[in-house]
Structure 1
């Protein structure tokens, strides 16, 4: 673009100079009467006697020449002015285009499931850019068949192998939890590879039994700037623990929440968080360790109304815990939401907290029996209040949502409030007004 504009300016300058040269030559070789002397007079003595008319013509021609030169100077000034404007515009555009798009690697934690193919196929199907979303598969267990599946993708993925496959010394009563110890060791290895060896600044972690939604990549790209700028956040998750079909609003695929509960199951963290956690990374049960107050430090995660991941792995170290009762019924989002084009400023801490609490505590209070039997009048939302751990667990269990708590925090909870759909109406299962903090003994 600069080369083209420079050529135009050069051409204009050349035409200006050429025009004036021609004009001067033309006027130089021309007299007003065709010759300077009187054709009827003998000029043999070599003395010219120009008439008064000739002098007037010469003055008139000088005036015309002066006016034309002034006009040409104005044209040249305009050309120079346009050149300055175009150069400034090009410099500004260059500044805008300097910042590259951030790279967000996807880390797939794999072990001995050949069904990792389903996970990788969906990632590759929905991935909009190989350069912006490199897929890194970190494999533990040394399972040959799984390794062969991963290798079959060639350079579409990077295949890492956990070098330490040895058993871990544990207390006798923890021998049955050997798998959880190995998983924690594997996470430590894989995250060090991503952040320290490969020098990435962020990562999205999925496990080999997760399928992703069509807008999975769009979701995380849109929320990366918020995660970087808001110190009250420490992760972004694709998962809703109460995201079973019938418990979410299908018309609100674009709805996002803050949650005090660490969801996992497809989540993004920054290198700065790993630098904080890595020195004290636990030997086992890393996800519950993340939910402890010492690690969470009153920070929240972002999670969606409708999950952007779906687990299809019933078999694993948890031996199908929760799968048959909850996980197999989870709803995976199918509608592409252009999150990068939406205003997500409502998720900033103070704005979100004020608006969320105002909506919850201005909603009419209803009884458990009315919710359970569908005897609610109006479209909602409604508030169902619990007073202690037992009342929360009883109502949650009977209404079909997750009733367990980790360090006092309910799944999907924000300031003690759990949001879900029951019989087509929004319900907020919440503590009384004036809530201040979680009680870690509620577990």
Structure 2
């Protein structure tokens, strides 16, 4: 509206000046007495006889023109002053001049669990803006009761239904894994809908059995500029694989890490990354495929100290794998952290790597027995060193953190280091100094 009013003012000013310029030219071109086309005596009497002092007439006409031009100048200055009222400057009205906030859709992957309501309810309760964080629920399986739950939200969510519900032919030995094939097909279709059909440039993906933290949206809003500007990052996750209560520092809910392990479970992806992944998207086990070196290509994800998602879905295609031992005890953050107001430049690759390695390898080395039996003295942090796949798995398992590796990368690990808390002290389970690369055979 302001732009339209400003345009009208400028058009009016242009027409005013143009008209007066034409008028001036016409007056200057008016024939003087004695020139061809001059009025006769009778006509001269009708319009007023000109003075015989031609020079005086010209000077008086020039004075008239000067006065008229001065009046036009005053009118134009008045128009300019009115324009400043219609279009406030950035300095005087920063609210009007504030840059437009990006739109970050949240894609909920659903199938046949009516408990999707718990996930969607929390998202709707916590999102700060419906325009900036549209919620898209993509449903597979054709489950009528789940579809009814999703439709009950009306226009608060966008309900997509994956059209291909056909069976998938798999090798006999993979018959029990058919669910993973259908999930991969669904992800492929749903992400294409978000990026290609709906033309979004980023997305946060959650599954229907996740509950989110109070600062879930704040976290991803703050992370988006970093993800876009850092080629060394390819995802942002809300999940800490070792984020069980007692294994994280609750007083450092603001602490974020780079990790070489793709965490999933509430994660952000850019359109550019999807265009890279989509042509080779796997038929099954998409999350483990994401963890392969060919996809990761040396890039990292960002993950929090304290998780911003919590899974409540024990039943699923994984048959509760890890749920009873680890996932059900993940600590969900309850403290709102204003991430958009924090300086996150410490997560840039070179800065982060140097600071992280300095802290890890300047920490005193301790024995596994000392950590296990709680015999550490001092505030920490401490370094616990492993030298082989077997020593890593033994120490991780006995200390209560996840001991599995994917393509040689430990869960939540960065450059081979896994950070966790033990009896209130920070422990870095780390390879020897001089670490250079992961060994894919460590799986």
Q: TM-score, normalised by structure 2?
A: 0.81
Q: How far apart are 1:90 and its partner, in Å?
A: 3.7
Q: Secondary structure at the match of 1:394?
A: helix
- Could you tell me how far apart the structure 2 residues matched to 1:313 and 1:118 are? 11
SS at match of 1:415: coil
Corresponding residue number in structure 2 for 1:197: 197
Give how far 1:171 is off. 0.5
Q: Is the 8 A contact 2:386 2:392 kept in 1?
A: yes
Matched, 1:368 2:361: no
Instruction: Give the SS at the match of 2:384.
Output: strand
**Pair 1:222–1:171, CA change in 2 (3 A):** same
For residue 384 of structure 1, what is the aligned residue in structure 2? 384
Alignment of 1:41-440 (within 5 A): 90-92=88-90, 97=97, 99-440=99-440
Q: Which runs of 4+ in 1 moved over 6 A?
A: 1-4
Contact 2:385/2:431 (<8 A) preserved: yes
1:425 deviates by 0.3
Q: Helix, strand or coil: the match of 1:317?
A: coil
**In 2: Cα distance, 1:86 partner to 1:308 partner:** 46
Which structure 2 residue ranges, 5 or more long, are not aligned? 10-73
CA pair 98-343 structure 1, distance change in 2 beyond 3 A = closer
Q: Shift in Å at residue 379 of structure 1? A: 0.3
When residues 161 and 88 of structure 1 are mapped into structure 2, their CA distance, relative to the original with a 3 A threshold, is closer
Q: Whole-Å Cα distance in 1 between the matches of residues 226 and 125 of structure 2?
A: 26
Number of aligned residue pairs: give it. Answer: 375
Q: Could you tell me how far apart the structure 2 residues matched to 1:170 and 1:272 are?
A: 31
Per-residue Cα deviation, 1:333-389 (whole angstroms, up to 9, x for no partner): 000000000000000000000000000000000000000000001000000000010
Cα shift readout 1:210-262 (whole Å, capped 9, x = no counterpart): 00000000000000000000000000000000000000000000000000000
Highest Rg: 1 or 2?
Answer: 1
Q: Structure 2 CA distance, aligned partners of 1:266 and 1:277?
A: 18
Shift of 1:92: 4.5
Using the TM superposition, name which of 87-96 and 177-186 deviates more: 87-96
CA distance in 2, matches of 1:121, 1:87: 44
Q: Write out per-residue CA displacement over residues 184-230 of structure 1, whole angstroms, 9 at most, x where no aligned residue.
A: 00000000000000000000000000000000000000000000000
Length-normalised TM-score, structure 1:
0.81
Q: Does the CA contact (< 8 Å) of 2:235 and 2:302 recur in 1?
A: yes
Gapped runs of 5+ residues in structure 1?
8-75
Partner of 1:16: none
Q: CA separation in 2, counterparts of 1:97 and 1:200?
A: 24
Query: Alpha-carbon deviations, 1:131-187, whole Å to 9, x = none?
Result: 000000000000000000000111000000000001111101001100000000000
Find the aligned partners of 2:150 and 2:280 in 1 and give their Cα distance: 31
Deviation at 1:100, TM superposition (A): 1.4
Query: For residues 124 and 98 of structure 2, what CA distance do their matches in structure 1 show?
Result: 28
Does the 8 Å CA contact 2:89/2:97 hold for their aligned counterparts? no
